[in-house]
């Protein structure tokens, strides 16, 4: 295994450790998730309400310049929705042809902060926006990553600031023989792994 592969694998391991720590933190904060619905104990809900800030105070404290940016922020939602629809249509048409399992949108677009009792209605609306927008970006990146893994799984010659989870399996830049001989097996391996991951999530 090359040093690059070792580092990329370590990143995946750290991400798994982070998820374990986040699960432990959920227990400390006394909330549960059942069928993707979040619920707090009554005591925690009452404690959260003590930190609720009135929405008018929230707007006033934001300042006029921030308020003026609101149309720009919400205007960006329109191309985001278009992108969301376009990528969803794309994968439902193309992925069965390529033999690639679908990226489950709900695994990436998570909107759950509206259940927090210390957020006023305006903060909840903002959080729903951010959850949707950033979730769509993650969802689109995964669909694009699976497409790249299928069509052109070759690493770049120059360092990339941020790489997706599939990049570790890509062929080295300039490895012509490895690419030609390994492309089809890599595609089969990708489809098999994604199916296994999907089955694991359903259990």
Q: pLDDT tens-digit profile of 84-134?
A: 999 999 999 999 999 999 999 999 999 998 888 899 999 999 999 999 999
Q: Work out the burial of residue 132: count CB atoms within 10 Å of its CB; fewer than 13 is exposed, 13-18 middle, 19 or more buried.
A: middle
Range picked from 49-53, 138-142, 197-201 for highest mean pLDDT:
138-142
Q: What is the pLDDT of residues 12-64, one digit of tens each?
A: 777 777 777 766 665 555 565 665 667 677 777 778 888 888 888 888 888 89
Using H for helix, E for strand and C for coil, what is the string for 6-60?
HHHHHHHHHHHHHHHHHHHHHHHCCEEEECCEEEECHHHHHHHHCCCCCHHHHHH
pLDDT score for 198: 74
pLDDT tier at 158, thresholds 50, 70, 90: very high
Q: Whole-prediction pTM value?
A: 0.79
pLDDT bucket at 193, cuts 50 / 70 / 90: confident
- Is residue 171 within 8 A of residue 154, CB to CB? The reply is yes
Range 160-166 average pLDDT? 88
Task: Give me the pLDDT at residue 35, please.
Answer: 54
Would you place residue 70 in the very low, low, confident or very high pLDDT band (cuts 50, 70, 90)?
A: very high
Residue 12: predicted pLDDT: 74
């Amino acid at each position: 295994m090359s040093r690059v592969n070792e580092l990329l694998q370590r990143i995946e391991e750290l991400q798994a450790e982070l998820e374990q720590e986040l699960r432990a933190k959920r227990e400390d904060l006394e909330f549960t998730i059942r069928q993707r619905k979040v619920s707090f104990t009554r005591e925690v809900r009452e404690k959260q309400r003590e930190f609720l800030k009135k929405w008018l105070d929230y707007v006033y404290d934001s300042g006029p310049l921030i308020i003026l940016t609101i149309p720009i922020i919400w205007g960006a939602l329109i191309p985001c929705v278009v992108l969301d629809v376009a990528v969803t249509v794309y994968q439902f048409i193309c992925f069965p042809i390529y033999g690639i399992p679908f990226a489950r949108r709900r695994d990436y677009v998570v909107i759950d902060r509206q259940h927090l009792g210390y957020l006023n209605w305006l903060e909840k609306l903002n959080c729903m926006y951010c959850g949707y927008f950033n979730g769509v970006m993650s969802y689109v990146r995964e669909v694009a990553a699976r497409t790249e893994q299928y069509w052109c799984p070759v690493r770049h010659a120059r360092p990339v600031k941020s790489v997706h989870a599939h990049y570790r399996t890509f062929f080295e830049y300039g490895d012509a023989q490895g690419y030609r001989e390994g492309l089809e097996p890599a595609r089969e391996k990708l489809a098999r792994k994604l199916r296994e991951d999907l089955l694991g999530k359903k259990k």
